[in-house]
A and B are shown apart, each in its own frame.
Chain A
Amino acid sequence: MTSNNMEYLTIALPKGKLFGLSADLLAKIGYTAEDLSEKSRKLVITNEEKKIRFIISKTADVPTYVEYGAADIGVIGKDVLLESGKDVYELLDLGFGKCHLMMAVDKNHKRAKLSDYAHTRVATKFPHIAEKFFNSKGMQMEFIKLNGSIELGPIVGLSESIVDIVETGTTLRENNLEEIAFIMDATARLICNRVSFKLKFDRIHQMTEDLRKILEMAK
């Protein structure tokens, strides 16, 4: 239905905390639709007048929709994008959804050096990024893939450490965890299918520039 359709521009938005921020930002440049809401029962919401379609999907699926061309454009956190390893254009840093990816351990059982954690278990939602990070430190780890509440890992003895995103650090503190290594910063990104970027260049370029202006005004 949607894939690389020349008439419409299809935008994939992630459910969750990035949804509202993305929808608001896009609305400022006129990219919106009636009933565009995270709670919408419709999975595809169309603005016939402007020839825009929105797909609302699970966060981790946005890069997949875009890579395959089922959506032309997507909004997604850099962390999820990098973890997915999908081949898409990264057009714009949208600035919001700021967080960073780090490694944290149980405060009370902290070891002296990072390398003391080699060959221990690490719980994470980001096994690919984590593996790259530990490889760069010459460390082999045992990765335990979790899908949420990563902080539980060390508390219940599932793992010695976690690799996760942190915004304010409150959750870490509340769970008696301490950050011991910074991995990368992440913000929301505007991504684009590699064929759409060529076939619909003018429209997508205009959209990116309009967004860039809005973001610069907000600075």
Chain B
Amino acid sequence: MENRDMVLEIPYGTRDFLPREAAGKRAIEAAIAEEFNLWGYDEIVTPTVEFLDTLTMGNGSNLEPHMFKLFDKNNRTMALRYEMTTPIARVAASRMKEDKLPLKLSYISSVFRYEQAQTGRQCEFHQAGVELLGSDKATADAEIIALAISALKKTGLNDFIICLGQVDFINGLMKQCGLSSKEMGKIRAAIENRDLVGLNAIADKADISDDARSMVKEIPLLHGNREVLKKAYSMVNNEQSRKALDNLSEICNLLEAYGVSEYITFDLGVIRDFSYYTGMVFEAYTPELGYPLCGGGRYDNMLTNFGTDMSATGFAFGIERVMLALERHGLKAPETQRDVYVAFAPGREPEAIKAVQKLRMAGEACEMAMGPSTEQDAEEYRAGKGYQQLIFVK
């Protein structure tokens, strides 16, 4: 290859946000942060790097290979945070243990995953989310979903759906079918891998009734409006599944009160991680983006790993994916305000500084020239940079 001018590379999976992109990102984050605040969620900031043991407590063994690791000076293994739920659970179970429940916490942070960069997701990417700790009520789940919808709308997106499922429905259904625990494990893996061919093959091979077989095969196809809950209810006769459906029904009633039920589709095949989620789970999808925008759910067992029994529910969404969706929907992230360019004739710096400071006090976004110029050059610069107005101090 031809030896070009030196290009300084950045590590795989990282990116720069140049001013225009950074402004778009900031605007989205500001809109989201404001919404989280309006719903009574307090922001929390945790370290970028933590001990690997902490971050992998519980279900982390799957995540461990995808974490960026480093050593401290005593050779303890540390890792960059993979997501924000675990660090927040750690804080909630330790330093905030005595606080009054429920805890409502929010974050907007970078997270790091060592994997193939994909649409809207580099190895370092940005997540915004909330965790509601210490409430096992449907009210908490409904609030989480309604807040996710509301925050997405605040970014300017409107064309999206939320698919809502319940992990316990599947767990109960599998027990009712009389599947062995090995078969259940295989079915969970098939559903998590979106392998419906594999799911059907496991059902066909299992020593269960024909009714049970068709029930297992039906799991990923229970998709639609509220009628789906009725259909699912009549399918199963075990308490666990029916409780799960009652829970969804209750959440749905509350979402109607929030006035957001138009965004909801029930989908009992929506599964995130079985080892992690214990109740309702949801994902948000939008056209023109092949990946989910947002995901969340209830994870009541996680804090037990940190020595505190506390129910929990929450969601996170990818800022870069929201940015990409906005772009593909032809919606612009709000532009930075650029009001006035202040330039000056030779020797007039002090007057120009006074003028620009006065404007800034009045809330105008101003840029000041760094040297004297002619009015004509200043006008050219103003137009090129997109300032509304030129003030030239003669």
Contacts and interface: CB of A to CB of B under 8 A. Distances in A.
A binds B: yes
Interface of A: 3-6, 67-70, 87-93, 189, 193-199, 201, 205
A199 B223 CA distance: 10
Contacts of A69: 119, 288-291
B332 interface: no
Contacts of B119: 68-69
B156 interface: no
A208 to B, nearest CB: 9
Contact of B161 (A5, A67, A89, A198): A198
Nearest to A209: B221
Given A3-B328, A68-B119, A195 B196 contact: no
Given A3-B328, A92-B197, A198 B265 contact: yes
A89 B289 CA distance: 16
Contacts of A193: 290
Given A89-B196, A198-B265, A198-B267, A205 B221 contact: yes
Contacts of A197: 194
Interface of B: 118-119, 161, 163, 193-198, 221, 223-224, 265, 267, 270, 283, 285-292, 328
A8 to B, nearest CB: 11
Contact of A199 (B224, B270, B285): B285
B132 to A, nearest CB: 25
Nearest to A93: B197
A194 B291 contact: yes
A92 B286 CA distance: 24
Contact of A90 (B194, B283, B285): B194
25 contacts: A3-B289, A3-B290, A4-B287, A4-B288, A4-B290, A6-B287, A67-B118, A67-B290, A68-B290, A69-B119, A69-B288, A89-B194, A90-B197, A91-B196, A92-B196, A92-B197, A194-B194, A194-B291, A195-B289, A198-B223, A198-B265, A198-B283, A199-B285, A201-B223, A201-B224
A128 to B, nearest CB: 12
A198 B283 CA distance: 10
A196 B289 CA distance: 9
B196 A90 contact: yes
Contacts of A87: 194
B197 A195 contact: no
Main secondary structure of the interface of B (DSSP, over half): mixed
Contacts of B197: 90-93, 189
B291 A195 contact: yes
A103 to B, nearest CB: 23
Given A87-B194, A199-B161, A205-B221, A194 B289 contact: no
Smallest CB-CB A-B distances: 7 pairs: A69-B290, A89-B194, A195-B285, A4-B287, A93-B197, A90-B195, A68-B290
A199 B193 CA distance: 19
A195 B163 CA distance: 10
A102 B347 CA distance: 83
Given A90-B193, A195-B289, A198-B161, 9 more contacts: A3-B290, A4-B290, A90-B197, A195-B285, A198-B265, A198-B270, A198-B285, A199-B161, A205-B223
A5 B288 contact: yes
B287 A5 contact: yes
Contacts of A88: 194
A201 B286 CA distance: 13
Contacts of A195: 285-286, 289-292
B344 to A, nearest CB: 50
A33 to B, nearest CB: 22
A66 to B, nearest CB: 8
A197 B265 CA distance: 13
A3 B290 CA distance: 7
Contact of A194 (B198, B286, B292): B292
A90 B223 CA distance: 17
Contacts of A199: 161, 285, 287
A4 B194 contact: no
A189 B286 CA distance: 25
Contacts of B196: 89-92
A205 B286 CA distance: 19
A189 B196 CA distance: 10
Contacts of B285: 195, 198-199
A153 to B, nearest CB: 28
Tell me which of B118, B163, B193, B287 has the highest count of chain A C-beta atoms within 10 A of its own C-beta: B287
- Residue among B119, B193, B196, B290 with max Cβ neighbours from chain A (10 Å): B290
A198 B288 contact: no
A131 to B, nearest CB: 14
A118 B265 CA distance: 52
B290 A198 contact: no
B200 to A, nearest CB: 8
Nearest to A71: B290
Contacts of B287: 4-6, 199
A112 B344 CA distance: 89
A90 B197 CA distance: 6
